[in-house]
Structure 1
């Protein structure tokens, strides 16, 4: 899928459920960015800190564990995790299928149109 530059309304939940790529940037504006993510069984996003970027993660399928700062909680479809700028975070898939979500960054974190099929590909970049 290519970046959605002309559309302002998207069926984002269905797009996230249909996505099998680790990371797929679908829209980037001056102040925010929309990204699809799919974490395979037993996989994780990887611990990180975004300085100067707030992040919201909206879960649409699967079961996971969110670590935000010192707090660990279970996440599932319908949950949103809030990661303020400068806070350590990681998200692990603890379910039996894919953990699927969409996330927003404010301001944008990745180059427009970024696609990573796997975490290994994302880490290499």
Structure 2
């Protein structure tokens, strides 16, 4: 199957990695993040790309060009290109985020188990999309740092040509791979 069709709420809720790239297109990239209590993403500026955040679980603060705003579940935030920003988990539980970069920021399949892994990594988007990686037979999720684990979602076709999925667990989360990645 081309594209990405999965329950993003479940994927974000199950993710325990600091950063996990789920899908990379030519013009955007879908990522889930998990911040521990007191952890932040690190102050950053993307000169040539916009970034969207959605809070799936938890609470925190976002800082965009000197303005701090409290954030909570279901809140969305857009950081325009060139804006200095940071996200901080101010709650007592993990802050689960979905983020979309346009254009992509990270290499397809990137997984950073911790912020330290992310800071020491040097990979960036190299032009390889998820679809291109699938066509080459390399599955997204292979570029891991730290102790990241990915589960598998298998898909089967029904007689009405609808696709249903059944999640299986390998490690802590069933995230990242679809049957197309393993065929």
Instruction: Write out aligned runs for 1:78-117 (5 A).
Output: 78-117=74-113
Separation (CA, whole Å) in 2 of partners of 1:21 and 1:50: 22
1:41 aligns with: 37
Residues 56-111 of structure 1: CA distance to partner in whole angstroms, max 9, x if unpaired? Answer: 00001011110011210100101011100000000000000000011000000000
Residue among 67, 70, 75 paired with 1:74: 70
Q: Which secondary structure state, in structure 1, belongs to the residue aligned with residue 44 of structure 2? A: coil
Residue among 2, 21, 31 paired with 2:17: 21
- Whichever of the two has the greater Rg, that structure is 2
Whether 1:60 aligns to 2:44 is no
Separation (CA, whole Å) in 2 of partners of 1:76 and 1:6: 32
Q: List alignment gaps of at least 5 residues for structure 1.
A: none
TM-score (norm 2): 0.65
Runs of 4+ in 1 over 2 A off after TM superposition: 5-8
Separation (CA, whole Å) in 2 of partners of 1:67 and 1:9: 31
Deviation at 1:7, TM superposition (A): 4.6
Separation (CA, whole Å) in 2 of partners of 1:117 and 1:8: 22
The structure, 1 or 2, with the larger RCO (C-alpha pairs under 8 Å, 6+ apart) is 1
TM-score (norm 1): 0.94
Deviation at 1:6, TM superposition (A): 3.9
2:146 aligns with: none
Q: Which secondary structure state, in structure 1, belongs to the residue aligned with residue 93 of structure 2? A: coil
Deviation at 1:8, TM superposition (A): 2.8
Q: How many residues align?
A: 121
> RMSD in angstroms over aligned alpha carbons?
1.0
